[in-house]
Amino acid sequence: MGLKNLIQLKPKETILKVTDEQPSEDVRKRTYHEAGYRDSSRNMGNSQTLSICLEAIYAKFENEEKELLHKQDELKKPYSQEQLEKESEIKGFQVAIDNANEKIKQNEDKNHDIESAIKELKFEITDLPQNPHLYGVPAKKGASAKFWIGLIVLAPITVYLFMFYSSVVYSAMEKQFTYEDQRWYVPDAIFRAWEDGFQALATVVFAPFIFIGLGYLIHMFYQKKKLASYFKLTAIIIATLVFDILLAFFVEKKLWELNVSDENAKFGFAEAIESQEFWLIIFLGFIAYLIWGFIFDFVMEEHKEKDKIKNAIRKRNEQIIIHKEQIHDNKSKIDEVKTLIREIKEKISKAKGRINELQRIVDGTIIPTKEYKLYASEYLQGWLTFINEKLMISRSENDNLISECLTINKLHLEKVGVREDYHNTVFTKTL
């Protein structure tokens, strides 16, 4: 076989005139079969020439498919439809991104408003003690300062009352006066009571708390602002005065008995009221008691006012904590939405990539490889028909030649994308 035979690979009679009207399958099969027979006869069934002829046949089949516009449209329709679906999907994704961005903006606006509210609350916490009425808190201005001033004054008076009454009670109930020691005020009364025994110690230590308790009752009855409470308050004051009178009386009686010269004389209130120590004990105790009771009431009232402010500040601090938690929750939601947006953008990117792939398919030519395999098989049968019927060679040479042709055909089909496990795949080539 020479060069003359090779240049006869594409005889004019093998090229069909193709129009948009697709010929029937039987006609095309017969045409490819006849072309295979003729090409084989002109090349003496040469297996190497078969490879070149198959390339030419594939090119002819490809050109035919390009010209079949209606068929191309049908083949491309699923890809065009998928392209439209992907474009619609991208629009849906874009709407989702817009909605997500709107959610982010809403949460950011919420955080901005909450941060402004926190700043306002912090300012109120600073200004509230000075101007509680501006924030609807029914408390007096400067209650905290008045409370501490009252407490500072109350503390030494409390110590004084304890020392005074422990001394007077000890003098009235336990002390034995002598000519050398006639003092009714005993600064070390507690230590002396300790030496006298537990009962004396308990009496001297706990007796002052009676007067402190009576002073506390002044506050309790005075704050109720009722007529019955005022009667009770008056009764408490009178009872305390009587108690003071009795203590002064017993102290003065002990001193009178120590100094009296007439053994038949008796001590009574008439004698007591004539003594300066009697009135001194009463006024040093009773007046201090009244002062302590009213200052204590004042301190408690200011503490109540102070508590109103303190509670208002506490509520605002609790609101700040709640607002900060809301900010944290909103930031978490923003992060979640941003993550969702990134995921959606990745899907959009994949969808656009798929659209570009589909566009290349639509712009190119779709070659139905399953159909091509059918026509290539017809062409091969025509080629082998000539070898079996017309080529005069030995049986072994015939078998070897046929085997070589089958191998070359298999390699060709793999080269153009025809595979046994994917009969419905298509091959695309840009126009």
Q: Judge whether residue 8 has pLDDT over 50.
A: no
pLDDT band at 337 (very low <50, low <70, confident <90, very high): very high
One-character DSSP codes across 234-289: HHHHHHHHHHHHHHHHHHHHHHHHHH---TT----HHHHTT-HHHHHHHHHHHHHH
The model's pLDDT over 23-46, given as tens digits with 9 standing for 90+, comes to 677 888 888 898 888 888 888 888
The model's pLDDT over 263-272, given as tens digits with 9 standing for 90+, comes to 666 766 666 6
Predicted TM-score (pTM) of the model is 0.51
pLDDT band at 3 (very low <50, low <70, confident <90, very high): very low
Crossing angle for the helix pair 198-222 and 189-196, to the nearest 10 degrees? 130
pLDDT value of position 140: 61
One-character DSSP codes across 29-51: HHHHHHHHHHHHHHTTT-HHHHH
What is the pLDDT averaged over residues 110-139? 82
Q: Among 4-8, 216-220, 415-419, which is the least confidently predicted range? A: 4-8
209 Cβ neighbours under 8 A, 6+ residues apart: none
> Rounded mean pLDDT of the chain?
77
What is the pLDDT averaged over residues 400-409? 89
pLDDT band at 241 (very low <50, low <70, confident <90, very high): confident
What is the pLDDT averaged over residues 290-306? 73
> How close are the terminal C-alpha atoms of the chain, in Å?
36
pLDDT value of position 332: 93
Strand partners, 428: 366
Q: Judge whether residue 99 has pLDDT over 90.
A: yes
CB 97 within 8 A of CB 310: no
- C-alpha pair distances (Å), 184 with each of 23, 168, 200, 228, 402: 142, 7, 16, 38, 146
pLDDT value of position 427: 52
The model's pLDDT over 244-280, given as tens digits with 9 standing for 90+, comes to 777 777 777 776 666 666 666 676 666 667 777 777 7
CB 282 within 8 A of CB 245: yes
The model's pLDDT over 382-403, given as tens digits with 9 standing for 90+, comes to 888 888 888 888 888 888 888 9
Distance CA 369, CA 223 (A): 104
What is the pLDDT averaged over residues 100-106? 92
pLDDT value of position 74: 81
pLDDT value of position 263: 64
